[in-house]
């Protein structure tokens, strides 16, 4: 089974368990103890209902920490209230240059510069999904700063 298939299966199991009431979503992040809408984070996708409940910022920090040895949490917890700010902030957390992000996504460095300056936005849902994956964040957080994501 591919990793993507495992992720989908694990997320579906969590959604179903929440809907049935056999799994309860806590009200506070297990990392920062803030009362926010929480994400169900799987450390192991084979353990379908074994999840850690994290706010979007802590969830993003956890994934970024796996890619980078030092994650400055102040960047994640600062006010990135628009798409350009969230792109730049997440990229910096990962210690990635605009050129490196562009190479990872198969776009020009100028495109990344324009996204971060607000001159233009990534084109289409597929581009946004790839960008969120490259930055280790959820699509909801990237697009809207939303924490409404499992």
> What domains, with CATH codes, occur in the chain?
1-54 (no CATH), 57-150 (1.10.260.40)
C-alpha distance from residue 49 to each of 5, 40, 109 (Å): 16, 9, 40
Q: Which residues contact 136 (CB under 8 A, 6 or more apart)?
A: 60, 63, 64, 66, 67, 90, 94
Do 89 and 76 form a contact (C-beta atoms < 8 A)? yes
DSSP reduced 3-state for 146? coil
Q: Which helix (H) or strand (E) element contains residue 104?
A: helix 98-105
Do 64 and 94 form a contact (C-beta atoms < 8 A)? yes
* pLDDT per residue as tens, the chain (150 positions): 667 788 888 888 888 998 999 989 898 988 888 887 888 888 888 888 888 898 888 887 777 666 543 334 444 544 557 889 889 888 887 888 999 999 999 999 999 999 999 999 998 888 998 998 888 887 877 887 765 333
CA-closest candidate to residue 54, choices 86, 46, 64: 64
C-alpha distance from residue 77 to each of 44, 100, 116, 120, 121 (Å): 26, 23, 18, 25, 23
């Amino acid at each position: 089974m591919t990793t993507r298939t495992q992720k989908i299966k694990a997320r579906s199991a969590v959604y179903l368990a929440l809907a049935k009431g056999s799994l309860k979503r806590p009200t506070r992040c297990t990392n920062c103890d803030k009362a926010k809408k929480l994400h169900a984070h799987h450390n192991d996708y084979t353990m379908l209902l074994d999840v850690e409940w994290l706010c979007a910022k802590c969830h993003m920090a956890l994934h970024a920490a796996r890619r980078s040895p030092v994650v400055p949490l102040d960047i994640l917890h600062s006010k990135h209230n628009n798409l350009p700010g969230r792109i730049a902030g997440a990229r910096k957390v990962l210690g990635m240059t605009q050129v490196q992000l562009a190479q990872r996504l198969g776009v020009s460095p100028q495109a990344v510069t324009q996204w971060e300056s607000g001159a233009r936005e990534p084109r289409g849902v597929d581009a946004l999904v790839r960008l969120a994956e490259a930055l280790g964040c959820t699509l909801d957080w990237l697009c809207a700063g939303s924490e409404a994501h499992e």
